Amino acid sequence: MDCQICGSGSVRLFQKYQYWIRECTGCKHRFCELEPAHDHVDTVYSDAYFFEGGDGYPDYLGEANLLLAHGVRYGRLLNQLMKPGRVLDIGAAAGFILKGLQSTGWQGIGVEPNARMAAYAAEHLDVDVRAGSLEMFETNETFDLVSMIQVIGHFYDLESALAKAASVTRAGGYWLIESWNKDSLVARGFGQNWHEYSPPSVLRWFGPSDLNRAAAKFGFTPVAHGRPSKRINLDHIESLLSYKLSHPVMKKMMSAAFGLFPKHTTVPYPNFDLFWVLYRNSA
Ligand SMILES: [Zn+2]
């Protein structure tokens, strides 16, 4: 299986939940060995992904305020570098991040494979999120900015996803990509047990250098980068941990520990394994 970024060969690294994770021998990009079914996106991002925990969210809508704030932070950051314009948010879910961007002067639309999420955005937030996969998304418009917040690791076909993103970005336009960092100390420290190794919902793992290389193929070069500051819900951490911990005693202890906090308590996320990059199309 050749690397979709640099075309080199790849080797099997380790198995996680019965899926092999491979590493490119050239650029060190990691990806899941998987031939996804044509309905992969529908199955993985079903309502269960957003509401039933596991490797997804225990209650996505419960994270509304955190996601809104995340969008606002990115909007303010972007506005220091450019004038707000039209944005396409890929993997927009219920539209909270897009809503946050809008409150800082951006306008635009989202694309989201989960129809219930997309409908929620229209009904409750008055945000235009189109239901469907990125591949099927059609528009005559080109955007000043395409945002991919924690979505690039989910692309099975990276090449065509980025080709699509490039085709809807205006000349001189931007991509904002936030991703988990497989090269971070945290990720390397945890090794195979790093929380982001959770196929098949996550299929790719990037560090800054392979991400830059992927963007460069489409004429995008980095103009700014950093680590996102964010808060997350303790409920979400508890749900993820209980999914990862297999030992019943560990589960019980953890449950007792989390029981000491009120529901929906938020904590700052130590963001050592997250990064964002703003790219500009030099075309
Ligand atoms: Zn490669």
pLDDT tens-place values along the chain, 283 residues long: 899 999 999 999 999 999 999 999 999 999 999 877 666 777 677 777 776 666 666 677 777 888 999 999 999 999 999 999 999 999 999 999 999 999 999 999 999 999 989 999 999 999 999 998 888 899 999 999 999 999 999 998 999 999 999 999 999 999 999 999 999 998 999 999 998 999 988 999 999 999 999 999 999 999 999 998 766 666 767 676 666 666 777 777 767 776 766 666 666 666 789 999 999 998 6
Cβ-based burial of 16 (10 A; exposed 0-12, middle 13-18, buried ≥19):
middle
Q: Decide if 13 is inside a domain.
A: no
Q: Decide if 160 is inside a domain.
A: yes
Q: Give the 3-state secondary structure of residue 125.
A: helix
User: How far is 136 from 210, CA to CA, in rounded Å?
Assistant: 26
191 CA from centroid of ligand 1 (Å) = 20
Using an 8 Å Cβ cutoff, are 206 and 29 in contact? yes
Using an 8 Å Cβ cutoff, are 102 and 84 in contact? no
Q: Decide if 20 is inside a domain.
A: no
What CATH number corresponds to the domain at position 126?
Answer: 3.40.50.150
Q: Give the 3-state secondary structure of residue 26.
A: coil
Q: Decide if 192 is inside a domain.
A: no
214 CA from centroid of ligand 1 (Å) = 9
41 CA from centroid of ligand 1 (Å) = 24
Structural domain range at position 180: 40-186+216-281
Q: Decide if 27 is inside a domain.
A: no
pLDDT at residue number 46:
74
**Tokens in use for 181?**
């960092």
Residue type at 55 in one-letter notation: D
Phi, psi of 224 (to 5 degrees): -160, 155
90 CA from centroid of ligand 1 (Å) = 24
Task: Report the first-to-last Cα separation within the chain, whole angstroms.
Answer: 31
Using an 8 Å Cβ cutoff, are 12 and 128 in contact? no
186 CA from centroid of ligand 1 (Å) = 22
Diameter over CA atoms, the chain: 57
pLDDT at residue number 53:
65
Domains: count for the chain: 1
Q: Give the 3-state secondary structure of residue 214.
A: helix
279 CA from centroid of ligand 1 (Å) = 19
Q: Residues with beta carbon < 5 A to ion ligand 1?
A: 3, 5-6, 8, 24, 26-27, 29
59 CA from centroid of ligand 1 (Å) = 35
Give the β-pairing of 86-90 and 143-149: parallel
**Tokens in use for 94?**
């219920």
28 CA from centroid of ligand 1 (Å) = 6
pLDDT at residue number 35:
76
**Tokens in use for 175?**
């991509």
Output 82-85 pairs: Cβ under 8 A, ≥24 positions apart: 82/144, 82/174, 85/143, 85/144, 85/145
| Residue-wise pLDDT tens digits, 224-234 | 999 987 666 66
Q: Decide if 191 is inside a domain.
A: no
Q: Decide if 21 is inside a domain.
A: no
Q: Decide if 90 is inside a domain.
A: yes
Q: What is the DSSP letter of 262?
A: P
| Residue-wise pLDDT tens digits, 22-68 | 999 999 999 999 877 666 777 677 777 776 666 666 677 777 888 99
pLDDT at residue number 200:
87
